[in-house]
Amino acid sequence: MEALMVLLAILLQTLLTITTTTAAQFDPSAPIQVICSGDSNYTSNSAFESDLRSLLTSLATSAPSNGGFFNTSTPDNTVYGLAQCRGDKTPTECSDCLNRSASTILSQCPRRKQAVLRYDECLTRYSDKRFFSTLTTDGTQMLYNVNNASDQTQFNRQLGRLLNGLATNASRDATRFAEGEINYTDFVNLYGMVQCTRDLSGSDCLSCLTGSIADLPGCCSGKQGARVFNPSCYLRYESSLFYAPVSPPPPLPGLTSPPPGAQTTHSDGNKKNSSKTVIFIVAPTIAVLAFISAIAICYWRKKPKKKLPLGDGDQQQIQSAESLLFDFATLRLATVNFSESNKLGEGGFGPVYKGELSDGQQIAVKRLSRNSVQGLVELRNEVVFVARLQHRNLVRLLGWCLEEEEKLLVYEYMPNTSLDKFLFDPIKCAQLDWRMRYKIIEGIARGLLYLHEDSRLKIIHRDLKASNILLDGSMNAKISDFGLAKLFNLEQTQGNTSRIAGTYGYMAPEYAVKGQFSTKSDVFSFGVLVLEILTGRKNSGFHESEQATDLLTYVWKHWTEGTTQQLIGRAPPGQFPSREFHRCIHLGLLCVQGNPVDRPTMSFVVLMLSSHSLSVPAPSPPGYLLQSDQSSESSALLRGDLDDADGFSNQNENKTHSRNTISISEIEPR
């Protein structure tokens, strides 16, 4: 009897939860997003207005009969337009929504040459400039249900699995649409839907959706329902069914049985009697599936392949990552046999080459040098960590190759290479105006926050430096090179090692001297990066002042003397806002304080970057100034001034080291 009462109480709570969620729906008759833009307005009764009205009519008529999507332009390319309906809508529902949208967009954005109008069921967009096949995330907006889930930890965990899996399925499906459900509790399901505009490539669709997923914790953590949308993609989730179930996409490649907690999608609305197709989600190995854009030219060799060295708990991740295997012949062809003309640069792992796959996708291939001290351990680290991480400010791993003596990693191609190529080049640095430098600092901060706090893993990067910050075509910063990264338990705060690995000049003092590393040692490296970005000067090999032997001392001197404006260098004069520049110098100095406890967390850093009214403490001297308890040799080490041929000893452990441009590897297995 007691068990029956408990069951009834659970059922009652479930019904109340569903009712609350259902009652909190948004008005479907009103647009959820309106963006009116353009460099200038068109005039009434002009040729542009006539072309626009004809285009909108064409979009509303053609999209429903073309699978819910249509994009075109006027014959003279005066106006470009796109219309798309939600993938679960019938042609009639699609037509009704787009006809309503065609009239509404003209009244909402009168005489504007660019506009986006989104209803829950459809999207209409037009512009006087060509925008097809271009990812656009400007104007991202969020709506959410004010009610919270009862078990927010479980809710967020299951929600991440659901949305990450749907994002993957949408990116690999020609319709760029996916929907599905997952159990939140034994009695309540979570329902999700994601969609990109169908002109986007699979990789751009995945990037848009994973970026939207990454935005959810900032507004909607634990909320029972939410929507995130921008001109290129849309996601929505609820704890009640809000879409019409459609046929699911095929299972993910390489998996033949559902893992525990697998998500299911139904072929009709009858939950009890419908047949089920399993959509396999290996939470959240999204980078593993970003390889879909290149899957057509990647195949399994019939002979046995080498396996990566596995550590405890790696088996599931490696099995998932093996769907990322590239054939060496494919990569050799893509890079023109690793020609010098395709070489992008070289680091501690080895040279990096630009390549192009047969489908036109550009890639970057990192090839392990025969004489490199890095090896299978670093390669395994990259595959296991990067394949499990997804964030717009982390570089995306597309695949790897391990054949005979060849060890290669394949990444998304970053057309603007790495930050150091701009920052420390006397000519290119002028391209980094204040807005761009601030954007890069914010991007690095958000990527690091994800690694430390927001991902389901807790990762210490240990080699954050300018050459490991890659820049995409829009100069968005992406953290790369996880060969030295360390995985922490969520409750763990600090680790120790007898073998120092990283790049001197960016290492925190407690790590370089004592082998202690934590999230705060990453914060120190971030602080060095911030000061380098602001001043355009390298920390290692610093020779610009007789009173300062390193950049941190040099900045601290100007800070204490109130002359921080003199730190601006290698940038057009008058470009940097004095107040914002001073605040960012303040932030950098907070991050490089000698005592790790005094350094801020990355969540505080991101908050400080987004709020100019936040009260912040005064910084204490940087770690490099605390030389009273360090030997002169250790102090020189921290400045990165030791010659490459020399070594040093600490606690009888042999260590190697490098200048700022070379990474040091651990040789022991992790």
Positions annotated as catalytic residues are 463
Tell me the three state secondary structure of residue 115. strand
Token duo for residue 197:
């505009």
Residues 6+ apart with CB under 8 A from 176: 170, 195, 196, 197, 198, 200, 205
Between helix 202-220 and helix 152-172 the angle, nearest 10°, is: 160
Q: Following DSSP, what letter does each residue of 181-199 receive, concatenated?
A: EEESSSS-EEEEEEEE-TT
Token duo for residue 571:
């940038």
DSSP classification of residue 396:
P
**Of 71, 75, 72, 70, nearest in space to 47 by CA:** 75
CA 590 – CA 220 distance, rounded (Å): 30
Q: Name 477's bridge partners.
A: 471
Query: Between the CA of residue 428 and those of 264, 287, 544, what are the distances in Å?
Result: 51, 31, 20
CA 119 – CA 98 distance, rounded (Å): 9
Q: Following DSSP, what letter does each residue of 331-352 receive, concatenated?
A: HHHHTTTT-GGGEEEE-SS-EE
**Of 644, 667, 664, nearest in space to 349 by CA:** 664
Q: How many CB atoms lie within 10 A of CB 617?
A: 10
Residues 6+ apart with CB under 8 A from 549: 542, 639, 641
DSSP classification of residue 622:
B
- In 424-464, alpha helices (H): 434-449
3-state SS of the chain: helix, strand, coil percent to 5? Answer: 35, 20, 45
Number of residues in the chain: 670
Tell me which H or E stretch contains 479. Answer: strand 477-479
Token duo for residue 95:
């037509």
Query: Between the CA of residue 338 and those of 120, 333, 334, 392, what are the distances in Å?
Result: 48, 8, 8, 28
Q: CA 509: distance to chain centroid?
A: 29
